Amino acid sequence: MAKLLKFEFRKLLRSKILYIILCMAIGFVVMNALVLVLIDNLARELDPELFTASPAYEFVKGALTNSFTTIIGVFIAIYATEDFSHGTCKNVIAKGYKRLEVYFSKYIVSLISTIVIAILCVATAFGMGLALFENNFASVTDNIPVIIIGQFLCLLVFHSMFYTIAYTLGKSGPAIAINIIAPLGITLLLTIGTLLINKEDFDLSRYWIDGIFSNFSGGSSMINMPGGATDESLFASNFILIFVYLGISEALGILFANRKQF
C-alpha cells in the first residue's frame, strides 16, 4: 500500500491537471473578490448612504462555493479514471495488489490533494478579504470551529461521492459529466419537490449535501428551519446527515471497487 501511495503521489505531482485545477480554483476566488469589489464600487456611486462594504469574514467563509465543488468534481473524475484508459490499474492488479489497495491508494491521494487545494483557496480568500474588504473578523459571532469542521466534513462527502462515481464508471467523459450535473440535478429535483409539497418553511434541498454545505458557508449561520429550529439543532441535524451521506458513499465505493473489472 505504501508503494502504491508513493507511486500515485509521484504520478500526480508530475501531472499538469493538478496545477491546472489549482490555478482554476484560486482564479475563481480572485475573480469573485474582484466582482464583489466592482459591485461595492457601483453601489457606492449609486447611493453612498446605503453603501455597506463586503465583510471579509463572509467572503472567506464562502470561498468554497459551488464553483469549487464543480472544479474538484472535474479533477477527481480525471484523476480517478486516467489509469483505466492507460491500462495501469490492470498491470498493478497483475502484480499482486488487491482491488481495495488500488482503490484506496488513489482515494487517499485525491482526498489529500482536494484538501490542499481547499486550504489554498481559503488562504487566498483570507488575503483578498483583508486587502479588499471591510475587516470584520473581530466582530464575528459564529462558532468558527463548527463552521470549519462542517465545511471540512462536507468536503469529505463531496470527494467520496465524486470519487465513487468516477471510479465506478472508469471513463473520464461520463464521470466528468455526472460529477458536474448530478449535484445540480438533485438540488433541482428537491427544489421541485419542495414546490409540489408547498409547505411553509420547508425546503427539501436543505437536507441534501449542497444545502448542508450552504449552511456552513452561507452569509449567516442562522437559518430558519421548520418549527423555529436553532443553530444548534440545525447543525446537529446537518452533522448527522453528513455522516449518513459519507457512510453510504463509502459503502458503495467499496462495493463497486470489489466488483470492478479491469
List of residues 6+ apart from 159 with CB closer than 8 A: 72, 76, 110, 111, 114
Annotated domain spans of the chain? 2-259
CB contact burial 144-174 (16+ within 10 A = b; e otherwise): eebbeebbebbbbbbbbbbbbbbbbbbebee
- Per-residue pLDDT of 130-144, as tens digits, reads 888 877 787 777 788
Q: Is the pLDDT of residue 110 over 80?
A: yes
- Nearest CA to 25 out of 69, 90, 87 is that of 69
Q: In the structure grid, which three cell numbers stand for residue 165, read together?
A: 462515481
Q: Is the pLDDT of residue 107 over 90?
A: yes
- Per-residue pLDDT of 43-101, as tens digits, reads 777 766 655 556 888 889 988 987 899 999 999 999 999 888 777 777 788 788 888 88
Cβ of 80: how many Cβ atoms within 10 Å? 26
Q: Which residue has the cell 449518513?
A: 244
Q: In the structure grid, which three cell numbers stand for residue 91, read together?
A: 498491470
Q: Is the pLDDT of residue 229 over 50?
A: no
Q: Which residue has the cell 463509502?
A: 250
- Per-residue pLDDT of 204-215, as tens digits, reads 888 899 889 988
Please report, as a single letter, which amino acid is at residue 198.
Answer: N
> Strand pairing partners for 225?
229
Q: Is the pLDDT of residue 125 over 90?
A: yes
Question: Model-level pTM?
Answer: 0.88
Predicted confidence at residue 262, as pLDDT, reads 65
Structural contact between residues 65 and 159, judged by C-beta atoms closer than 8 angstroms: no
